[in-house]
Amino acid sequence: MSADDSSIFINDAMNRVLKYKQITFEDAERLLSTNDMITLSTCANNITRTFNGDTVDVETLINAKSGRCPEDCSFCAQSSFYDTGIYKYPLLPKGVILEQAQKAKETGSTSFCLVCAYKSPPERDFEQICETINEIKKNVMMDVNVSLGFMTHERARRLKSLGVKRYNHNLETSETYFSQICKTHDFADRVKTAKIVKEEGLELCCGGIIGMGESPRQRLELAFSIKSLQPDEVPVNILISRKGTPFENLAPLDPMEAIKTIAVWRFIMPKTILKIAGGREVHLKDKERIALKAGANGIITGGYLTTGGNSANKDITMIREIGLQAQ
């Protein structure tokens, strides 16, 4: 396909999306194969601005319980199957989490996410988490999101009653590649929790990780699987190969491939918060600005589960410098 033909196709796909029509899997493959990054980025940005305005969702998370997870996910430094040298600790006290939530609000974040390395929290920990959420809602008054592993209907209802806004449960990778990253549970298990979350009235945050050895087609399979769950937020993580995990020697994904993936995912999911998350500072570096003008409209700031990140002030300054607003 010539450059002119590619540009025409990308613009046509954009116009269909803007008219509330869906692109097909074959359309997405053509978009992902283009070399015309300028047109692809511009059109993805037009879709983002049309449906989501000029705001960027800024979220801070806390690793509220680190390590000793009984699942064997090959990308994860917190899995008990691998010796990765991370600092492991039980569920943090309420006061520590409350202090971090207050700090996140003061530095400009509009939401705060409690993330815990569980398959599913034991009852005692779940009760403590609920008490902590209640304290944050009462004293800090900001949106609270959580990520606690697999969910039941009863627990999801409890979280909803406490005012939790959004529950994070990523699909991680495509169904056809899932067995290459995890043996202790399967793709359907993850889909089940995502559906429970939606059914109980919580917003769903559901994304994945790219750069784990999957094919470009499998990145699209993941996107369409996520889309079928109608998520409110989709974090796109880029694998950081961690020493001690089975993926420690994987070559890093080309940053422009990551940005192209984000742009195409915007065509697939035009209205969601598409958030560049773990790995963005490591892999994108100065290209983060490009990603925020090529489909992304959200970031996680201040660090991740087992790696550091940019300060909120630095990120909010970057957002303003490219003519967008932190929200």
Can you say whether the dihedral through the CA atoms of 248, 301, 294, 320 is positive or negative?
A: negative
Is 139 exposed, middle or buried (CB count within 10 Å of its CB: 0-12, 13-18, 19+)? exposed
260-275 pLDDT, tens digit each: 999 999 999 999 999 9
Quote the CA–CA distance of 230 and 308 in Å, as a whole number: 30
- Provide the total of helices (H) and of strands (E) in the chain, helices listed first: 11, 10
Residue-level pLDDT at 310? 61
Residue-level pLDDT at 40? 97
pLDDT beneath 70, residues of the chain: 1-4, 80, 302-311
Quote the CA–CA distance of 125 and 117 in Å, as a whole number: 12
8-35 pLDDT, tens digit each: 999 999 999 999 999 999 999 999 999 9
Can you say whether the dihedral through the CA atoms of 310, 316, 318, 324 is positive or negative?
A: positive
Quote the CA–CA distance of 87 and 67 in Å, as a whole number: 7
Residue-level pLDDT at 1? 57
Per the document, the length of the chain is: 327
Residue-level pLDDT at 65? 80
